[in-house]
A and B are shown apart, each in its own frame.
Chain A
Amino acid sequence: MNPRKWLAAGLTILFFGAVLILGRCAPSAPKGKKAIAGSSDLAIAAQKTYVAPGDLDEYYMFASGGHSGQIYVYGIPSMRHLSTIPVYTPYPATGYGFDDETKKMLGNLTWGDVHHPALSETNGDYDGRWLFVNEMNGRVARIDLRDFKTRQIFGPMPNISGNHASSFVTPNTEYAVMASRFSIPIPKGTTAPIEKYATDYKGVIAAVKIDAKTGEMSQGFEILMPPFDYDLGDAGKKVSDGWVFFTCYNSERATGKLEVTASQRDRDYIAAVDWRAAEKAIAEGKGDLIGGVKVLDPRKVPGVVYLMPCGKSPHGVDVAPDGKWIIGSGKLQGVTTAFNFEKVQTAIRNKDFTGDEDGIPVLKYESIKDAEVPVGLGPLHTQFGPDGFAYTSLFVDSAIAKWKLGTWEVVDKVPMSYSIGHLAAAEGDTVSPDGKYLVGLNKLSHGRHLSVGPSQPESSQLVDISEEKMKILADAFTEPEPHYAQIIKADKLKPIEVYPKAENKNPLAIWDLKDAGVTREGSNVTAKVVLVRSTISPTAIEVNRGDLVKIAMTNIEQTTDELHGFGLLDYNINIVVDPGETKTVTFRADKPGVFPYYCTNFCSALHQEMQGYLIVK
């Protein structure tokens, strides 16, 4: 071999040698990944979450069901799903949306995107009376916690469009609030070209009045706002009682591809509304009637609303238990801002403004903030513990940060699986948080559960916050899609288990089998029906084709758990009547023939025999 060949051979060996030494394959997992931080000792976690058969949970969690239109009730710490409360969507399991009353309550909208449950409060603490929950079509519903039933659906509220920043009640449940996420020209029903968005489209903030005794909701008032996208809210408490705060994005007043066009400015706003001042102005007759509701225009009525600059495109805004701090964060940033309510008041007094938006003064950011807390990437929502700690969810980091109010020190972080949105600590948005438990409401769950195909459930993770370090205790998989949840001590609720006979005021209620039967007035037929183990009386109902048939059924049981159903085949009728309750269903008997009806809710050993026939001649 000549020297050149030697050289070539040498270089080849060197090259492959270098490849062998330096070359690496792409790793199959992140390098240096150790055991998941924040996970508990298994035995301790099991013990803390295990609720033995027959034992009861310590807390209720009411989770919004998002576009499922429902509220889900969970037990904490077991994370067991206890029941579903249908609100904006028919729910055949309880016959909701099939009987006359609930059908009427739902109206023409049989879908609603449920967002933020708000337990009624007295002096800023949950009182266990009602649960309010909003949906995007401009409605708020009231669930009575005496029987866990939806009792009122209020709205749609005029002028409100895309009611996301809702239902956040005030500390003595004076008001629930609403706000437009999708500004439109008002009154609703009028139009304006999209090019005139910045001037002719309007944001609206609304207050829904709540009767202190009955919980009945009625129109309060509205405030005309610039066409921003109002996103979340929270009522002030204690020192900040009388105020309510709303975040908004798109202060650019942009249209089109908002992910770009609405992300141009460095700051958006938190709107601070003095609802007592607004209430007073309305009482003095200052509002204009738009779309059937009194609307305050801040240009004409100053002193009702101010804008607090906040990090770009903020999502949540949360008031600390003592009402001193208002926590808001730009959802694309790495910090959350603690605004000082006293400083906000001082800035308002000193007219420490940097400008205005449609007549609404903009406060100077530097004058009202106490701290920017480096919690981590993508801070969304904050909840509180009893000891001055705050817990902020970090969507981008997929974690929860624990930090101290006042010292602004971040003390712990726990990873969430995955991409946490809201979080709920035990009574963590009241004036007296309980601590102990926190639930992270995560958007993604992949790989954490047996696969169920492309429609993946959400994930809720229970976190122990009783010690210095947060510990993940359990995973649970929740139906789509919890936007917020509230956790209330179980002993604050005293639900009934049967409707007492004495309370049933339905004029068509009957309690004796002898009274069951059919009466006719022209082509209107009324059937009074008794449901009791194990007969539907009468066992046959005869009507003529074309009759308007009203069936009023009373479950005369007074025993817990003895529900009876009334399923009428081919007529799309499915009613479930609780013990002591009377429900009616009205329909046109337009199909001739013989149609069986039967008890759908398993009640007794002879449940199968609980049946009868509707004969349409």
Chain B
Amino acid sequence: MKNVFERANRYLNLPLELGPRGLLVLAALLLLPTYFLPLWKLTMFAPQYPDGLRLGIYSFKLEGGNAGQDTKEINLLNHYIGMKDLAAGDFTEFKWMPFVIGALALLLLRTAVLGKLGTLVDLFVLFFYFAAFSLWSFGYKLYRYGHDLAPTAAVKVPPFMPPLYGHRKLANFDVYSYPAAGSYALAAVAVLLAVALWLAWRESRSEIASETRMAG
């Protein structure tokens, strides 16, 4: 058992080659678009809204289509079913997400400079934890909006889950929910991290193999 950890430590302490380091810098750059591109897009169509109502979710704000008017319209419509207004203040994510993304970018750059395979593994895990938590948080938010309906609402609807991904018919609305450019950038970061990890793993394996051969 001890042997396994010793072996693992040998791998994890190996410094990174140039390839993975480059990928990490690229990954850090790819985090930047999340500061100006939306992560998620909700689009709603109904017969009386042929042009659709649009809502962009950023890491730091909500942005309604039609110069913000769509958010007001969505809130106006939702008040009939007793849903809470979509208000930036209710999204704690907008406070911590930009900070966390910034921190991740700094860690990526740090790894690119000082990096060892071990810190790359840490980053990989941390990034996926961040992505999974964010998704859960977004989904939970949607769940709460769809379930915390005022009991005095003019129109009583059974609690519902707005779509996190894909299309859903809600009353007279066709609602489409899809990740947007910001999320695709994050996905690209994940891919780059995976590739960097794979490259680093392969290199370290061949290095250790040659070391063992020489020692033998």
Contacts and interface: CB of A to CB of B under 8 A. Distances in A.
A605 interface: yes
Contacts of B80: 534, 605-606
Contact of A532 (B69, B76, B154, B155): B76
A606 B81 CA distance: 12
B73 A559 contact: yes
Contacts of B69: 558-559
B72 interface: yes
Contacts of A559: 69, 72-73, 76
Contacts of B73: 559
Contacts of B76: 532-533, 557, 559
A42 to B, nearest CB: 33
A558 B154 CA distance: 22
Contacts, number: 16
Nearest to B49: A559
A9 B80 CA distance: 100
Nearest to A556: B72
Q: How extensive is the interface on chain B, given as a class?
A: under 10
A605 B154 CA distance: 10
A604 to B, nearest CB: 8
Nearest to A535: B79
A534 B69 CA distance: 18
A533 B69 CA distance: 15
Contacts of B72: 558-559
Contacts of A606: 80, 154
Interface in A480-539: 532-534
Interface string A542-571: 000000000000000111000000000000
A605 B46 CA distance: 14
A559 B48 CA distance: 12
Interface centre among A532, A559, A605, A606 (most CB of B within 10 A): A559
Contacts of A533: 76
A557 B76 CA distance: 9
A558 B76 CA distance: 11
A557 to B, nearest CB: 8
Contacts of B155: 605
A193 to B, nearest CB: 66
A605 B69 CA distance: 20
Interface string B56-69: 00000000000001
A611 to B, nearest CB: 14
Nearest to A561: B48
Contacts of A558: 69, 72
Contacts of A532: 76
Nearest to A604: B80
A532 B76 CA distance: 9
Nearest to B154: A606
A558 B74 CA distance: 12
Interface centre among B73, B76, B80, B154 (most CB of A within 10 A): B76
A534 B153 CA distance: 13
Contacts of A605: 80, 155
Contacts of A534: 80, 154
B33 to A, nearest CB: 30
Contacts of B154: 534, 606, 609
A444 B174 CA distance: 51
A487 to B, nearest CB: 28
B153 to A, nearest CB: 11
Interface string B135-158: 000000000000000000011000
Nearest to A533: B76
A245 to B, nearest CB: 48
Interface string A1-31: 0000000000000000000000000000000
Nearest to B68: A558
B104 to A, nearest CB: 38
Interface string A324-360: 0000000000000000000000000000000000000
A609 B155 CA distance: 13
Nearest to A498: B69
A536 to B, nearest CB: 15
Nearest to A532: B76
B94 to A, nearest CB: 23
B116 to A, nearest CB: 55
Nearest to A606: B154
A559 to B, nearest CB: 6
A558 B64 CA distance: 13
A156 B167 CA distance: 62
Interface in B99-128: none
A557 B77 CA distance: 12
Interface centre among A532, A558, A606, A609 (most CB of B within 10 A): A558
Nearest to A605: B80
B87 to A, nearest CB: 14
Nearest to B50: A54
B66 to A, nearest CB: 8
A72 to B, nearest CB: 27
A534 B155 CA distance: 13
B129 to A, nearest CB: 41
Nearest to A609: B154
Nearest to B79: A533
Interface in A562-617: 605-606, 609
A95 B154 CA distance: 29
A441 to B, nearest CB: 35
A607 to B, nearest CB: 12
Nearest to A501: B69
A416 to B, nearest CB: 40
A558 B80 CA distance: 18
Nearest to B77: A533
Contacts of A609: 154
Interface of A: 532-534, 557-559, 605-606, 609
User: 3 shortest A-B CB distances, which residue pairs?
Assistant: A558-B69, A559-B73, A533-B76
16 contacts: A532-B76, A533-B76, A534-B80, A534-B154, A557-B76, A558-B69, A558-B72, A559-B69, A559-B72, A559-B73, A559-B76, A605-B80, A605-B155, A606-B80, A606-B154, A609-B154
Given A534-B80, A534-B154, 11 more contacts: A557-B76, A558-B69, A558-B72, A559-B69, A559-B72, A559-B73, A559-B76, A605-B80, A606-B80, A606-B154, A609-B154
Interface of B: 69, 72-73, 76, 80, 154-155
